[in-house]
Structure 1
Amino acid sequence: MLLRLLATVAGWCSNSNNPPTSLPPKAAAAVMAPPPPTSASAIVAESVSGSHVLTIKGYSRTKSLAGNGESISSSAFTLGGCRWSIHYFPDGRGVKNAGWISLYLHLDHSHGIDASAKFKFSMLDGDGEPVPSFVYVHNGGGIQRFMCNGVSWGCHRFIRSHALEQSPYLRDDCFRIRCDVTVYSEIRREDYATAERLVVVPPSDMHLHLGHLLAGGEGTDVTFEVAGETVAAHSYILAARSPVFMAQLFGPMKEKTMACVRIEDMEARVFRALLHFVYTDSLPDIEHDDDNDYDEEGDVDDKIAVVQHLLVAADRYGLDRLKLLSEHKLCSCIDTSNVGTVLALAEQHGCNGLKKACFKFLMSGSNLKAAVATDGFQHLGDRCPSILRELLSLTSSSSSSLKV
């Protein structure tokens, strides 16, 4: 029956524009009607979990070998397609954490690939079970983004040295730490035009390859000297992304005899962050200043300062998207201690959105009264007197509307 129907249809297709009268009406309708549209999709959020147990043999010896701020790394282990290691600080990371054991999880940056992960550190007892009183869960159990620039994350103060030495968990000068890690892949959407999809096109990963190229240093042809450090890069990539680099490296004003290009008035870590954006089109995790030790509040202030410098650098090199990303990040970091500095920055570099965010913050509650007493606000009058006149106009208008 089916073969006869197919033969009839084939004959119609080759000899006539109309279906034959011998074809039943329902069959004719089935042949002529287009197939019903079908589609399917999926949201895919995959993860992989694993653990690495680090045994410290000869604890007292590690204390004598590695002083405050010095770390000893574990062997590398692979999870979620990335290589990881644990950095163990026998006498704490930073002066303020002396007398403590610090533990950090480190992503091997040689891959040039970022990763998102949850992790925790646990002291293990004699049976290999976690000790509840000595468990550190990073970021409250939230997901931490590890960037490929070598920044590690972890616990400043896992356990006091004397507490460990008096505990039953240090046996024969040995103790064990377990790091539990869950690595998350990027959330992706899978669209299916039909029930069977023969070709799956993955999302672009060009930024990962370029980030790996920058991290590995292969094929670099230009060197920059920044605050006493040298940084290598690829001139054609820089020129393609920044009109300033184009003029500096290939324009008529280029200095052909220079062995390297000197960058004035910029920190090395700010320039590295700028290069990270040039290659990957994304903001990196802000590096810590290794020469200083910060508590959590100081660490936040330091990162805000770096983002401010990054905004200035973006404006200097004509990187408009980086400038907007920095501006957006600063909008969420405004407080009474920095609003004067941020407002001056917004005025000097034409950041209207950031300027409006500062004004909105100052007009809320008692923020203006608290901000006026800060040094940053005092300098604002000298650097940008027009801002104060504009702010005065706003406060006057607000007071008038309240009276009405």
Structure 2
Amino acid sequence: MPASSPAAADGTPWRSASAIVAEAVSGYHVLKVVGYSRTKDVANSKAIKSRPFLAGAANDNVEEAVKASAKFSLLDQDGKLVPSYSFTTLPINFSEKRNWGYSKFIKREVLEKSEHLKDDSFTVRFDVTVMKDIHTQGTPTIVVPPSEMHRHFGDLLLSKEGADVKFRVCKKTFSTHRSVPVARSPLFKKMLLGPMLLGPMKEGTTTSAEVFGALLTFMYTDELPDMKEQEESEMVQHLLVAADRYNLERLKLICEDKLCKHIDTGSAATILALAEKHSCHGLKEACFNFLSASTALKAVMENDGFENLTKNCPSVLKELVSKGISC
């Protein structure tokens, strides 16, 4: 233990503190197996690898000696862990053992009879915790809390205090602060820095009041409002359209990411058409990956959304053919 520091000029003892820290970084990777029936042709001695992924700041494909543990979990159709098929390994030293996991995670016949295999697809999640070196660090005397700006701006939106612009959407009036949408959206900037408004500004699109309210919440807080799980897909589709119109690129990407988790036989055609219309390349590729399953495309073609896709997005059908995706 280090010797104590000398007293300050006024006689008050100097203070210091430290901590011994055994840190770990964690991350997870969600892997969706599309076209499960076709993977049965792979020999038992062969492995099908996922893409490399990150656990915190550490790549799982490391060469140096690293100790880590992993949790392997089957996910249900709502993306939740299935407790009976969720297993955690002991910490493993990579310098001694390069492969580890569960050779008998779930029997094929059990998976095939379960509700977790749908549209010839199922999803698993890998949680990885990488142990870092134990070290000593000083404990700060003053702890600065994380920013609360998003909460303060959210409270400002709810309170309407100081609001100087009103929007009229589907008979509902939203009171806002001109500077916020101006700072967040080029289109709002053009709309609101024009001639002085004499009354509530009308949002002249098919945007619903609920969607416009969610749009304002994001512009004030950089977060989406809470949504009911069963309503999220439809709501996020409308938000993506609004984000594209108002040039809110981060919101658009958030919507793309959320919609990737809602692709199924009932929604794939509609989401693909949406992705094509609004230039959502990542979402479009996710739809193609889903449709590449042996039974997925046939099931999608039986839905009304596919007729709309063929009518309004014929180029997408050509891309499907060029990628070798067919019934």
TM range (shorter): 0.5 to 0.7
What residue in structure 1 maps to residue 279 of structure 2? Answer: 350
Following the alignment from structure 2 to structure 1, what is the Cα–Cα distance between the partners of residues 153 and 214? Answer: 14
Judged with a 3 Å threshold, the aligned counterparts in structure 2 of structure 1 residues 390 and 194 are, in CA distance, closer, same or farther, namely closer
Whether 1:245 and 2:174 are equivalent positions in the alignment is: no
Following the alignment from structure 2 to structure 1, what is the Cα–Cα distance between the partners of residues 300 and 219? Answer: 35
What residue in structure 2 maps to residue 277 of structure 1? Answer: 218
Following the alignment from structure 2 to structure 1, what is the Cα–Cα distance between the partners of residues 270 and 139? Answer: 58
Following the alignment from structure 2 to structure 1, what is the Cα–Cα distance between the partners of residues 264 and 245? Answer: 26
The one-letter amino acid of 2:238's match is H
What residue in structure 2 maps to residue 262 of structure 1? Answer: 202
How far off its partner does 1:256 sit?
2.1
TM-score, length-scaled by structure 2: 0.57
Conservation of the 8 A alpha-carbon contact between 2:263 and 2:287: yes
How far off its partner does 1:380 sit?
0.4
The one-letter amino acid of 1:275's match is L
How far off its partner does 1:392 sit?
1.7
* Consecutive unaligned residues in structure 2, runs of 5 or more: 1-5, 7-17, 24-79, 82-134
Mapping 1:3-402, distance limit 5 Å: 40=20, 194-250=137-193, 254-263=194-203, 264-286=205-227, 300=230, 302-395=231-324
Question: Looking at both structures, which has the greater relative contact order when contacts are Cα pairs under 8 Å and sequence separation is at least 6?
Answer: 2
Conservation of the 8 A alpha-carbon contact between 1:308 and 1:330: yes
Judged with a 3 Å threshold, the aligned counterparts in structure 2 of structure 1 residues 196 and 310 are, in CA distance, closer, same or farther, namely closer
Following the alignment from structure 2 to structure 1, what is the Cα–Cα distance between the partners of residues 223 and 290? Answer: 27
The one-letter amino acid of 1:221's match is D
How far off its partner does 1:258 sit?
3.5
SS of the residue 1:224 aligns to: strand
Conservation of the 8 A alpha-carbon contact between 2:21 and 2:137: no
How far off its partner does 1:42 sit?
8.7
The one-letter amino acid of 1:316's match is R
Judged with a 3 Å threshold, the aligned counterparts in structure 2 of structure 1 residues 42 and 222 are, in CA distance, closer, same or farther, namely farther
How big is the alpha-carbon RMSD for the aligned residues of Structure 1 and Structure 2? 2.6
Following the alignment from structure 2 to structure 1, what is the Cα–Cα distance between the partners of residues 302 and 293? Answer: 16
The one-letter amino acid of 1:266's match is T
How far off its partner does 1:41 sit?
5.3
How far off its partner does 1:273 sit?
0.5
* Consecutive unaligned residues in structure 1, runs of 5 or more: 1-5, 7-37, 44-138, 141-191, 288-298, 400-404
Conservation of the 8 A alpha-carbon contact between 2:19 and 2:139: no
Following the alignment from structure 1 to structure 2, what is the Cα–Cα distance between the partners of residues 205 and 351? Answer: 31
SS of the residue 1:395 aligns to: coil
TM-score, length-scaled by structure 1: 0.47
Following the alignment from structure 2 to structure 1, what is the Cα–Cα distance between the partners of residues 198 and 21? Answer: 55
Q: How many residues align structurally?
A: 201
Aligned residues with identical type, % of pairs: 46
SS of the residue 1:225 aligns to: strand
How far off its partner does 1:265 sit?
1.2
How far off its partner does 1:285 sit?
1.3
Task: Write 1 or 2 for the structure with the bigger share of helix.
Answer: 1
The one-letter amino acid of 1:342's match is I
The one-letter amino acid of 2:216's match is L
How far off its partner does 1:196 sit?
4.1
Following the alignment from structure 2 to structure 1, what is the Cα–Cα distance between the partners of residues 225 and 136? Answer: 36
How far off its partner does 1:193 sit?
8.2
Following the alignment from structure 1 to structure 2, what is the Cα–Cα distance between the partners of residues 276 and 42? Answer: 39
Following the alignment from structure 1 to structure 2, what is the Cα–Cα distance between the partners of residues 335 and 244? Answer: 34
Return the index of the structure with the highest Cα Rg: 1
Judged with a 3 Å threshold, the aligned counterparts in structure 2 of structure 1 residues 323 and 357 are, in CA distance, closer, same or farther, namely same
Following the alignment from structure 1 to structure 2, what is the Cα–Cα distance between the partners of residues 339 and 381? Answer: 13
